[in-house]
Amino acid sequence: MVRAAILPAVGAPLEIAGIELPEPGPGRVRVRLAAAGVCHSDLSLSNGTMRIPLPAVLGHEGAGTVVSVGEGVTHVAPGDGVVLNWAPSCGTCPACAIGEVWLCDSALAGAAGVHARTADGMDLHPGLNVGAFAEETVVAANCVLPLPAGVPLTDAALLGCAVLTGYGAVHHAARVREGESVVVLGVGGVGLAVLQSARIAGAGPVVAVDVSPEKEALARAAGATEYVVASDTTAKDIRRLTGGRGADVAVECVGRATTIRTAWDSTRRGGRTTVVGIGGKDQQVTFNALELFHWGRTLSGCVYGNSDPSKDLPVLAEHIRAGRFDLSTLVTERIGLDGIPAAFENMLAGRGGRALVVF
């Protein structure tokens, strides 16, 4: 038996309980978690904004050590450090065939399977494939990536979602070029990763926007050169900080209609807005036909940073080893499984960066 955080139903409180995991069969890997990040997507799963089969063990951003492997697994072995990949690509669907592995048709197929059982025999699904809010998990082999040398195992959990998403949003989705101005709306875990990635790209100025004035120090430590407390004049404030034109690129990390619209309004004519935040179906964003023509801006979505984890992880590891990317600055709280509900409340209230469950 291992302890895990279980979501029994949409909107229900998380239950911390013992679960029974099977031994890894062919093509499966058992991992002892070192840490798991508490992502806004976990909150979206718990409140029904995103739907998964339930009951489930939540958690999708994690890293740990291989305990055992099933038949046919050769890329990792017991004792290896690994990063969990919650959206593995199949390599054969139409999206994978053209290199868009982040849009793989079967990336979340594993979430429908039975992952574990409670002590009384109730079947549990793996939230977003990996069920990382647990002391141990059993996942498909393509859900584990070898941990690159020189990357701390505990902080490496952040690579599983926040960092790959933030880095990819800058370098793949928005394609930020050196010298371009960037505004980042939302300074949570992903927003902090976006700021660090914008700094690596040589962007400037880099403007961080958040509802909380207390996050300014976090944002500046991550690479923000300017900080704006969100208000009705945010778009005007950003134009003032970017020579009157607006930012070249806006990255929205909140997932609300108002912030998406503000991100769009904050960019220059011909600017680019990348939406990373996951919003609900009720969040409707409107534009008129004339402004679409006049401003010539681009609005695009971003899934998992439009990243290929197998290719991007080694690149990120080199930035980490060289001191250009500091994983620890994303973490504002280290907690146990019992602290996840409070971490959800902090996210709803706009407090802090990333909470990290440390086992």
Q: Does domain 2-160+326-358 have CATH number 3.40.50.720?
A: no
Q: Supply the pLDDT for residue 352.
A: 82
For the segment 171-207, what is each residue's pLDDT rounded down to a tens digit? 999 999 999 999 999 999 999 999 999 999 999 999 9
Tokens of 95: 């999206």
Domain boundaries, the chain: 2-160+326-358, 166-303
Assess whether pLDDT exceeds 90 at residue 349: no
Q: Supply the pLDDT for residue 111.
A: 85
Q: Supply the pLDDT for residue 222.
A: 95
Question: For the CA atoms of 191, 196, 199, 203, what is the dihedral angle to 10 degrees?
Answer: -20
Q: Supply the pLDDT for residue 52.
A: 87
Q: Supply the pLDDT for residue 322.
A: 95
Query: Nearest Cα to 228, choosing from 243, 244, 245, 213?
Result: 213
Assess whether pLDDT exceeds 90 at residue 269: yes
Q: How do strand 123-126 and strand 116-118 relate by DSSP bridges?
A: antiparallel
Q: Supply the pLDDT for residue 194.
A: 98
Q: Supply the pLDDT for residue 250.
A: 98
For the segment 284-305, what is each residue's pLDDT rounded down to a tens digit? 999 999 999 999 999 999 999 9
Average pLDDT (259-288) is: 95
Sheet of 182-185, strand order: 226-229, 206-210, 182-185, 247-252, 267-275, 298-301
Query: Nearest Cα to 4, choosing from 139, 110, 155, 119?
Result: 119
Domain 166-303 fold: Rossmann fold (3.40.50)
Average pLDDT (229-234) is: 96
- The confidence band for 11, taking pLDDT boundaries of 50, 70 and 90, is confident
Global pTM?
0.94
Q: Where are the alpha helices (DSSP H) in the chain?
A: 40-46, 94-97, 162-168, 189-200, 216-222, 234-241, 257-266, 289-295, 309-321, 340-348
Q: Supply the pLDDT for residue 112.
A: 86
For the segment 37-73, what is each residue's pLDDT rounded down to a tens digit? 999 889 888 888 888 899 999 999 999 999 999 999 9
Cβ distance 299 to 264 under 8 Å? yes
Q: Supply the pLDDT for residue 141.
A: 96
Assess whether pLDDT exceeds 90 at residue 348: no
